A and B are shown apart, each in its own frame.
Chain A
């Protein structure tokens, strides 16, 4: 009895700082970050789901880039392409009193709804003229993912470059670059979409993504600049300079690795934002144009038939949310991992574990 009580006070005395310190003993910075990230359950789950979605989307519909004249085509395992029409299949699947093109996907086993589990010819149904909706949705998701990657890549590269130069050199360079940033900041995204939609409408989603990327770096540049402003005053930068390091070396070898957390975190935010912007542009008719599809375009097309064929509306929305949500969670996990101030909750289990190590 007495023993147990003493043990309890010992547990309470163990401060959270001690435990946190013990965990990071003897590990490199990278190992600590990796360890913290792996512990973020939502982020880990998101990575797995996102990777699965990527593989599933790209392998099912294949990769289609370029225009009609200069196609780059790698077919996927799904039998239909977005222009293939299958009227018989559409009529075969009716539901809700005569609505054709109903989804043939049935995820409930036989003992729940009387019909067995099956995928069928058109798991997401077909549209009015008999195009396979699964192919359309997968194609839309593929476009969204491509936009996300291209905008993310371009935005991070340009934003880091401009932010780094402005923050490192300061003075007139900084002033000019920051005013340039402000200028880009007030340029509306909608007009970009309109220009691209008109000029490069038939080249697919890539030009749109590139253009959006060129106008998506401003927030990131500001964060990177702030980070550089504080980092360049630190002692290790002075030390490097005294040792004769060039500006280039200081930027790339000494400051950039320390700013990588900020860059990655705002980069993920940029990417999840890019998906939403692309779908919004397509929804308004400024982004991807028919006959090609995008998730925003699909939602716009089927929003009025929601009460008749709700699945036409649910699937594209669900994919946008799934991808954006996963990216957001990964960003959150990365922020926790990179931010040394973010302390994890010290649970009772940790205290017990720490106690055992001590004994």
Chain B
């Protein structure tokens, strides 16, 4: 059935594409003496003497040959193998979209659920407005603004070409940023007017002082977290993870999470050995393995009851706590990276997927290359996240609101369960069900989907291949990209159906 859909759609797409331009048009006004020969050659190469619906089956022959192991999608017009061309482009696209997809999903679902819990609060109204605004933004328009303000002007801020020195934040911008941060936090927490102002004042002051301190120590030019930053983040994530998974009242779980946070913090210096200059990316896995094994063991030791839960809490905390260690390692390359000739003090690029001008040493170093890749990802990731984030906010908000109106939520509250248990166990779990379909579909869609983003930021991924194939009348390449996308979409629908049955027992039983 799925194959039939892909077959039908590919037939349609092939014929549409064949209609979309005239490959002989470029010869129309040519005065080349070889004109006739060139026309004949193009006709022969592209088999233009065969009408498109029939030509489609020539292409299909290569696909069907896959049955006896001679699978081919043909060659591009530059005589490159289509499968090879595509397999070069897939990792690029994947790198481009993976961070933004994860970020959009995590942020979108979190914020959407907060707005559902705090329905009709100031935060809810503001988020609703912002998500509608983001919904209506064309991505190419956002991209240009990002290039101007996030890249060009931020680079100027880091290293002013006029004064030949890093600029520093003015007092007014520090104060404004603090006030905005305070407003957002106070809006999320809500509550009485008094609580609102207390939170607002506290966060505004704290955030402003943090910015001031970062600015005074030139942190933006030489960023890093250090053991203090890692420790603070690890213990904060311990508190958050425990609160969500078992509640802070569960002292045993809290102990396990705190132990995990302590282990990751203590491990900060020893782990640096693993991540020295010239170490390979494989060591990252090793770092995670070490902290998570130790923490898991700590969780195991806490109590013999509910062992599984303690271990789980400790493991999640260790994972969240180890991420800052990795980030810290990458950030510490920034100072040297920025001063190198290839970068010339302008670290955030507006185009491309990697900097080819880096020196031999830098190209060989895993950490510098990672930093380079991350910096190239900054703008496209922000653009893609902004655009897709709004959808998740709206969807998860609506989904959770619907669930919270159900009778079983009232029953759960009536039983005297804590609000945390009601919201997390009964509410969010059920609200996540319809989200699975969308998540799976989006993952499939992004592989062939970031056409505009790739074009704006000049990434050589699937979208660019598709775009070029369309413009150059490159039917084989076009079909290769298209069939992959169509196949993934159809597969995603199938997987979503299966997954739905797995996560929702009601559907499984009904069948």
Contacts and interface: CB of A to CB of B under 8 A. Distances in A.
B136 A188 contact: no
Contacts of A329: 132
Interface string A180-211: 00111111101110110111000000000000
Nearest to B405: A341
A276 interface: yes
Given A198-B20, A199-B19, A345-B120, A186 B489 contact: yes
B237 to A, nearest CB: 34
Interface in A260-301: 272, 276, 279-280, 283-286, 296, 299-300
Contact of A194 (B17, B152, B485): B17
B144 A299 contact: yes
Question: How many interface residues does chain A have, given as a range?
Answer: 35 or more
B136 A332 contact: no
B466 A188 contact: yes
A185 B132 CA distance: 25
A321 B485 contact: no
B140 A185 contact: no
A320 interface: yes
B12 A328 contact: no
Interface in B462-476: 466-467, 470-471
A332 B132 contact: yes
A159 B119 CA distance: 33
A325 interface: yes
A108 interface: no
A187 B135 CA distance: 23
A195 B6 CA distance: 20
B452 A283 contact: yes
Contact of A325 (B8, B136, B140, B466): B136
A167 to B, nearest CB: 18
Contact of A283 (B12, B16, B138, B490): B138
Interface residues of B, number: 46
B348 to A, nearest CB: 16
A313 interface: yes
Given A183-B12, A194-B470, A325-B133, A313 B493 contact: no
A18 to B, nearest CB: 17
B19 A198 contact: yes
Contacts of B12: 183, 187
Contact of A188 (B4, B132, B482, B490): B482
A129 B466 CA distance: 34
Contacts of A320: 136, 138, 141
A236 interface: no
B250 interface: no
A294 B233 CA distance: 49
Given A179-B4, A307-B148, A284 B19 contact: no
Nearest to B12: A187
Nearest to B390: A328
B144 A303 contact: yes
A221 B144 CA distance: 35
A341 B490 contact: no
Nearest to B483: A186
Contacts of B489: 185-186
B21 A183 contact: no
Contacts of A325: 132-133, 135-136
A341 B402 contact: yes
Contacts of B136: 272, 276, 320-321, 324-325, 328
A306 interface: yes
Contacts of B129: 42
A197 B120 CA distance: 46
Interface in A38-73: 42
A123 interface: no
B8 A198 contact: no
Given A324-B136, A325-B133, A325-B136, A186 B490 contact: yes
A206 to B, nearest CB: 18
B486 A186 contact: yes
Contacts of A276: 136, 138
A186 B5 contact: yes
B140 A300 contact: yes
B284 interface: no
A195 B405 CA distance: 48
A317 B138 CA distance: 8
B138 A190 contact: no
B452 A188 contact: no
Contacts of B455: 284
A251 to B, nearest CB: 27
B20 A179 contact: no
A195 B467 contact: no
Contact of B16 (A191, A272, A341): A191
Given A188-B466, A321-B133, A280 B138 contact: yes
Nearest to B21: A198
A313 B147 CA distance: 13
Nearest to A182: B5
- Among A186, A191, A285, A345, the most chain B Cβ lie within 10 Å of the Cβ of A186
A272 B391 CA distance: 13
B294 interface: no
B374 to A, nearest CB: 25
Contact of A280 (B22, B140, B405, B482): B140
B22 A182 contact: no
Interface string B30-53: 000000000000000000000000
Contacts of A197: 20
Contacts of A190: 451, 466-467, 470
Contacts of A191: 13, 16-17, 20, 470, 478, 482
Given A186-B489, A187-B9, A296 B470 contact: no
B137 interface: yes
A299 B138 contact: yes
B19 A195 contact: yes
A332 B125 CA distance: 13
A266 B307 CA distance: 48
B137 A188 contact: no
A198 B133 contact: no
Nearest to A186: B486
B492 to A, nearest CB: 11
B109 to A, nearest CB: 20
B1 A179 contact: yes
Interface string A107-137: 0000000000000000000000000000000
Nearest to A345: B120
Interface string B114-154: 00000110000000010011011111110010001000100
Given A190-B470, A284-B452, A195 B133 contact: no
Interface in A314-355: 317, 320-321, 324-325, 328-329, 332, 341, 345
A190 B133 CA distance: 24
Contacts of B19: 195, 198-199
Residue among B8, B136, B405, B470 having the largest count of chain A Cβ atoms under 10 Å: B136
B467 A284 contact: yes
Contacts of A328: 132, 135-136
B74 to A, nearest CB: 18
23 contacts: A179-B8, A184-B9, A185-B489, A186-B6, A186-B486, A188-B13, A191-B13, A191-B482, A195-B16, A195-B19, A198-B21, A199-B19, A276-B136, A284-B455, A284-B467, A299-B140, A307-B148, A320-B136, A320-B138, A321-B138, A328-B135, A328-B136, A332-B132
User: Which 7 pairs between the two chains have the least Cβ-Cβ distance?
Assistant: A324-B136, A194-B20, A186-B486, A325-B136, A317-B141, A195-B20, A345-B120
Given A186-B486, A303-B144, 4 more contacts: A179-B5, A186-B5, A199-B20, A324-B135
